[in-house]
Chain A
Amino acid sequence: MLKTFKLGGVHPAENKLSADKAIEKLPLPKSVFIPIAQHIGAPAQALVKKGDSVKVGQLIAKSGGFVSANIHSSVSGTVKKVDLALDSSGYPKQGVFIDVVGDEWETGINTSSQLFEKFEVDSQAIIDKINEAGIVGLGGATFPTHVKLVPPGGMKAEMLLINGVECEPYLTSDHRVMLERGAELLVGIRLLMTALKVNKAYIGIENNKPDAIENLKKLIASDSSIAIVPLKVKYPQGGEKQLIKAVTGREVPSGALPISVGAVVSNVGTALAVYEAVQKNKPLIERVVTITGKSVEKPSNFLVRIGTPVQELIDAAGGLPEDTGKIISGGPMMGKAIASTDIPVTKGTSGILLMPEPESKRKKMKNCIRCSRCVTVCPMGLEPYYLMTVSDKQLWEKAEASKIMDCIECGSCSYTCPADRPLLDYIRLGKGKVGKIMRARKQ
Chain B
Amino acid sequence: MTIIYTVVALSAIGTLAAVILYFVARKFKVYEDPRIDQVEEALPGANCGGCGYAGCRAFAEACVKENELSSLFCPVGGNDCMGGVADILGLEAVKKDPRVAVVRCNGTCEHRPKTNHFDGAPSCAVAASLYSGDTGCQYGCLGCGDCVTDCDFDAIHMNPETGLPEVDDEKCVACGACVEACPKTLIELRKKGPKNRRIYVSCRNEDKGGVAKKSCEVACIGCSKCFKVCPFDAITMNNNLAYINSDKCKLCRKCVVECPTNAIIEENFPPRKIKADLPPKPAPKTETVVKTEAGTEKSNKPDNIEK
Contact = CB atoms under 8 A, between A and B. Distances in A.
A425 B120 contact: yes
Interface residues of A, number: 21
Nearest to B180: A394
Given A90-B130, A91-B131, A422 B121 contact: yes
A339 B121 contact: no
B125 interface: yes
B236 interface: no
B6 interface: no
A425 B126 contact: yes
B132 interface: yes
A81 interface: no
A91 B132 contact: yes
Contacts of A392: 123
A336 B121 contact: no
A362 interface: yes
Given A426-B126, A429-B129, A339 B115 contact: yes
Contact of B121 (A326, A340, A426): A426
A71 to B, nearest CB: 22
A90 B126 contact: no
Interface string B226-257: 00000000000000000000000000000000
A326 B118 CA distance: 10
- What secondary structure prevails in chain A residues at the interface with B? mixed
A249 interface: no
Contacts of B130: 90, 336, 425
Given A422-B120, A425-B120, A426-B121, A432 B129 contact: yes
B254 to A, nearest CB: 33
Given A339-B115, A425-B126, A429-B125, A86 B132 contact: yes
Interface residues of B, number: 15
Given A86-B132, A92-B132, A339 B126 contact: no
B138 A92 contact: yes
A339 B120 contact: no
A443 to B, nearest CB: 22
A415 to B, nearest CB: 15
B119 interface: yes
A16 interface: no
A6 interface: no
| Most chain A beta carbons < 10 A, residue from B116, B121, B132 | B121
B131 A90 contact: yes
B119 A361 contact: yes
Closest 10 CB pairs of A and B: A90-B131, A422-B121, A425-B121, A339-B116, A425-B126, A362-B119, A91-B132, A429-B129, A429-B126, A425-B120
28 contacts: A89-B131, A90-B130, A90-B131, A91-B131, A92-B138, A336-B130, A337-B119, A339-B115, A339-B131, A339-B132, A339-B134, A340-B115, A340-B116, A360-B119, A361-B119, A362-B119, A362-B120, A365-B121, A365-B122, A422-B120, A422-B121, A422-B126, A425-B123, A426-B123, A426-B126, A429-B123, A429-B125, A429-B129
Given A339-B115, A340-B116, A429-B125, 6 more contacts: A339-B134, A340-B115, A360-B119, A361-B119, A362-B119, A365-B122
